[in-house]
Amino acid sequence: MTEIARRAKQSLELIHAMIYFAPEAADGFAGLGLERGLMSYYAGRSAAMGPVGAGVVAATFYNFNPESVAPVIPRAWSIAAPEAVLAARLKAADAALRRLLGDDTIASGAVAETAELAREAAQACTPDGKPLYAAHADLPWPDEPHLKLWHAITLLREFRGDAHIAALQHGGLSGIQALALHSTVPGGFDGDVAKKLRAWSDEQWDRAFQELRERGLVGAEREITEAGHALREEIEAATDAMSMAPWSALGEARTTELIGSGGRLSKALVEAGAMPRGLRRTR
């Protein structure tokens, strides 16, 4: 049944991830005085952990260049307190979801029912060894159904993401190596985009591919090998297994219901332009 965890990720994650591309979020953080780009991203996603330092952010985000974190974290907290960042983020989620889905959908029974299912699933997660999930799980639940849904999917995303980092470490892949290997598969993260967005230099990117090649995971032309495919599947399977708590709690029928209703909302978000092309399959 563990494959249902992957299906859930693919169907539900955009409900949360749209926040990273929403102009409402960029403008909201800028209104606090935060720099657009990496400062706003790092602060927005890590604020639930409090005024943490660069090392904590780099460790929990995993595949971003730590050298890009240090110039903006913890400096961001001298500009805007984590509580203010969290408030701006939730306000942006409200505005973005209303713009993308429309007020009629936001007020619909379908959103309310999906939110309750997602909340039940998220509350079945456990914080052990899951720092980003645990930090977000300590936040209060929003009252409005669409924000309750957004928060629940945030929890589910970070729960799986924390598990994925553990699986990557078990597989012996650093953050940049995992990112580079992901860029070699059909439908994966475009390499040039990944390198730019995660702030890795050409030299660091080339070194990561050399390391992957030495392990037999990619070939001379940076194409993924059978061993690379096998390792990726092993890591994804381990991630699925460690991410089963919410879906075991809901059961197969209700999980399938959530995947269906959440998937329809995700489709509507895609059609409304919530996420740039080429980024929809990134983690």
pLDDT band at 281 (very low <50, low <70, confident <90, very high): very low
Tell me if 155 sits within 8 A of 125, measured CB to CB.
yes
Q: What pLDDT sits at residue 278?
A: 54
Task: Please compute the mean of the pLDDT values over residues 179-207 and round it to a whole number.
Answer: 95
Predicted local confidence at residue 282, as pLDDT: 38
Q: How confident is the model at residue 283 (pLDDT cuts 50, 70, 90)?
A: very low
b/e sequence 73-112, b meaning 16+ C-beta within 10 Å: bbebbebbebebbbebbbebbbbbbeebbeeebbebeebe
Closest by CA to 179, choosing from 55, 46, 283, is 283
For residue 138, how many other CB atoms are within 10 A of its CB? Answer: 11
Query: 277 pLDDT exceeds 90?
Result: no
pLDDT digits (tens, 9 = 90+) for 199-221: 999 999 999 999 999 999 999 99
